[in-house]
Amino acid sequence: MKKKPVFNRVLLKLGGESLQGRSGYGIDPAKARHVAEQVKEVWELGVEIAIVIGGGNIFRGESLSKEGLDRSTADYMGMLATVINGLALQNALEKVGVVTRVQTAIHMPALAEPYIRRVAMRHLERKRVVIFAAGTGNPYFTTDTAAALRAIEVSAEVILKATKVDGIYSSDPIVEKKAKKFIRLEHMDVIKKKLGVMDSTAISLCMDNNLPIIVFNLGRRGNIRRVVLGEKIGTLVKT
């Protein structure tokens, strides 16, 4: 008997690093295809998928602002990096047969649709994957916050936060071998323990709107599908 998805509509949060290769920056078409094929597995189950992607593989506004670049300017540059990633991911998805739309918080009609909530929801209802780019369109807000905001706006049932590790740990498990993995947390635990999986604004938005978050490892092929089918992987954040 085939398993059925436990979610009808999800928002997948990807870091820009999910598209970068061994060089440590830029976009690797093979990595983009790897992500696209995993998204397709979930799309074929009939699940409605929205995606927010970061831009850290191209530009990190917050880091450069600490080196003297005006913070607002740096953040806008970072937003443009997410648009580049969004277009790359759209291309990879369409190459594997997934109908996709990119919507941007900053108006750039030659490249993508403007973000309009009702239009985005109609795309989702018609089983088109929607990629939300350019963050919230405002400086000082991360793509984690954009993911929380868009998930709430389009009535997603959960945020699937894809990372390099298999859940939330007490400290960085790559550096600290004795780091403790959490199977389940409440939103307030993440804030109080300063676990850093998402910024406090994003976590607070999710907490205030009873939106769960599942943090899992994107590196293992098929993990997005496993999460959507209800397998207990990663860390669940739910109040």
pLDDT in tens, the chain (239 residues): 578 999 999 999 999 999 997 777 899 999 999 999 999 999 999 999 999 999 999 987 667 777 788 999 999 999 999 999 999 999 999 999 999 999 999 999 999 999 999 999 999 999 999 999 999 999 999 999 999 999 999 999 999 999 999 999 998 888 888 899 999 999 999 999 999 899 999 999 999 999 999 999 999 999 999 999 999 999 999 99
Please list, in sequence order, all residues whose beta carbon lies within 8 angstroms of the beta carbon of residue 119, skipping any fewer than 6 positions away.
103, 113
Residue 127's pLDDT is what? Answer: 97
CATH number of the CATH domain containing 148: 3.40.1160.10
How many angstroms separate the CA atoms of 58 and 137, rounded? 18
Tokens standing for 7?
């979610």
Report yes or no on 150 lying in a domain: yes
Residue 203 one-letter amino acid:
I
pTM above the 0.75 mark? yes
What is the count of structural domains for the chain? 1
**φ, ψ at 224 (rounded to 5°):** -60, -45
Residue 82's pLDDT is what? Answer: 97
- Domain extent, residue 209, equals 9-237
Residue 8 one-letter amino acid:
N
Report yes or no on 2 lying in a domain: no
Report yes or no on 3 lying in a domain: no
Report yes or no on 61 lying in a domain: yes
Residue 86's pLDDT is what? Answer: 98
How many angstroms separate the CA atoms of 15 and 18, rounded? 6
> Is 39 in a helix, a strand, or coil?
helix
Report yes or no on 4 lying in a domain: no
Residue 68's pLDDT is what? Answer: 82
Of the candidates 28, 19, 142, 164, the residue with the CA atom closest to the CA atom of residue 75: 142
Residue 1's pLDDT is what? Answer: 59
